[in-house]
Amino acid sequence: MYRFYISNITNDYHYAELARVFLSDDEFEVIGIDTPEKSLKLRDGSYLINRSGSDDREAIKREFYHLLSTLTGRSSGWGTLTGVRPLKLAYEMLDEAGGVDGMEKLLSERYLLSSDKISLLREIIDYQTSYSDGDPSSKTGLYIGIPFCPTRCEYCAFASNVAPESDIEKYFCNLLEEIRFTGKLCRDHRTVIESVYVGGGTPTTLNADQLSRLITAVKEEFLVDPEKIEFTIEAGRPDTITAEKLSVMHSLGVNRISINPQSMKDETLDRIGRDHTADDIRRGYKLAADYDFKVINADLIAGLPGEDLDDFRATLDEILSLGANNITVHTLSVKRGSRLRENDPEYYRRDTDTVSEMVSYARQKLGEAGFVPYYIYRQKHQMGALENVGYCIPGNHSIYNIRIMEEKQTIIALGAGGIGKVYYPDEDRLERIANVSNYRIYNERFDEMLERKKGYYI
């Protein structure tokens, strides 16, 4: 057990998070103390950080990082950063430094980022600067949650449930009423919707008729013209995709779908609890090719149990051949609430070198195929303290993904598990407006869910 005494701090959270990049929870303790006195005696495994009593948090974190790296023989490309939105910090450094060169210097010297991560952030900034013009706060994003899946994946911690059709229909009827209620609020306040994102769960758990009613309601209630905005529906699980559902979505103007394989290895799909095969994924892409969706997104996961670098390479190479023009490469996160976390909480600390090679291969291969990185975020308990990166053929990005990460736009969220955010540009701050995550509780407290929607306009 290491004991890290850090002087002149009032909150140990940021330092404990940094320690977790290198050590498991049972291997360390962070202890905040007043400016150290001569009487403090350090035993074996105990260390004092910030002897000078500095109040510069970043300087203290740099000192702590170097100590952790020395003790463990490891490093992190993200340096002292532990937050989920590194790009947001990069933009702040860009403003502070007044230029890209100054931004890169600050990220390297103040936060100890590697040249590779700095280069990645710069590429994303270059893309966003070119393709996401306009004031994001002048428009609003709309998220709609469908919290149902055919089965629950081993790594999943989302609001996702396996439910009978009767439960789904009851939930769906309430969701339509929430759409009508919130749509009227938006019309009354002349809210302009920039993007619609129907996620989950797996929205294509709904049948074709339900999908038709959902899309029609969104278009009518929010005055949405799919030809002028981004309209996404996740068709993530190929075992929920049918020609009828794809036809409904396409005919009603949905222009972006996701077919998410995670892996193209049958043994892996079985191991992580996905009740379909790689052939089902191929079938889903073949069906989708018959419709003119502008964007087909694929989500892949680096670090799935039992997979090696060759497995990941084979998955990515095949997804490229199937025609996806927007690919998000996730690094596996062992999330609280997932079965993987319950069964193997320290899984994310093992074989991190292989996962790093997977992520590096994805960046190289996708670059060779004409893709560029356009958004990024990180998560806790992520293998190798790495990241999730969205890549696209230029022009085929998701504006919703960009906005949700930059946090400068109001996002209205409907349905169980939806977490909306109101943006106040004058104060540059967000205020959360969340629905409950459990669909049964959502049904039971539905009147309250409607009342919460008024919070977007108070």
DSSP 222-259: TT--TTTSEEEEE---GGG--HHHHHHHHHTT--EEE-
As given in the structure block, the two tokens for residue 91 are 């933009």
H or E element, residue 298: strand 295-302
Instruction: Tell me what percent of the residues of the chain surpass a pLDDT of 70.
Output: 94
Q: Name the more confident of 134 and 4.
A: 4
Give the pLDDT score at 227.
Answer: 87
Q: Kindly state the average pLDDT of the residues 149-156.
A: 68
Q: Kindly state the average pLDDT of the residues 336-359.
A: 76
Residue closest to 153 by CA, chosen among 261, 57, 255: 261
Strand, helix or coil for residue 313: helix
Rounded CA-CA distance 401/399 in Å is 5
Strand, helix or coil for residue 282: helix
Q: Report CA Rg, the chain.
A: 23
Whether 10 shows a pLDDT value over 90: the answer reads no
DSSP assignment of 397-433 equals --HHHHHHHHT-SEEEEESTT-EEEEEETTTTEEEEE
- Asked if 379 contacts 340 with a C-beta cutoff of 8 angstroms, the reply is no
Whether 340 shows a pLDDT value over 90: the answer reads no
Rounded CA-CA distance 29/2 in Å is 6
Give the pLDDT score at 151.
Answer: 74
CA torsion 455-401-257-255 (nearest 10°) is 80
Least confident among 136-140, 296-300, 363-367, 382-386: 382-386
As given in the structure block, the two tokens for residue 141 are 């994003």
Q: Kindly state the average pLDDT of the residues 217-245.
A: 94
User: What residue type is 108 in one-letter code?
Assistant: S
DSSP state at residue 209: H
End-to-end CA distance of the chain: 50
Q: Kindly state the average pLDDT of the residues 7-15.
A: 92
User: pLDDT by residue (tens digit) across 264-275?
Assistant: 999 999 988 888
User: pLDDT by residue (tens digit) across 77-86?
Assistant: 999 999 999 9
Give the pLDDT score at 359.
Answer: 97
Give the pLDDT score at 159.
Answer: 59
Whether 342 shows a pLDDT value over 70: the answer reads no
Instruction: Tell me what percent of the residues of the chain surpass a pLDDT of 90.
Output: 82
Give the pLDDT score at 200.
Answer: 86
Give the pLDDT score at 154.
Answer: 62
Residue with tokens 């049964």: 440
Q: Name the more confident of 71 and 25.
A: 71
Give the pLDDT score at 42.
Answer: 83
323: cis peptide before it, omega within 30°? no
Whether 20 shows a pLDDT value over 70: the answer reads yes
Give the pLDDT score at 153.
Answer: 64
Whether 351 shows a pLDDT value over 90: the answer reads no
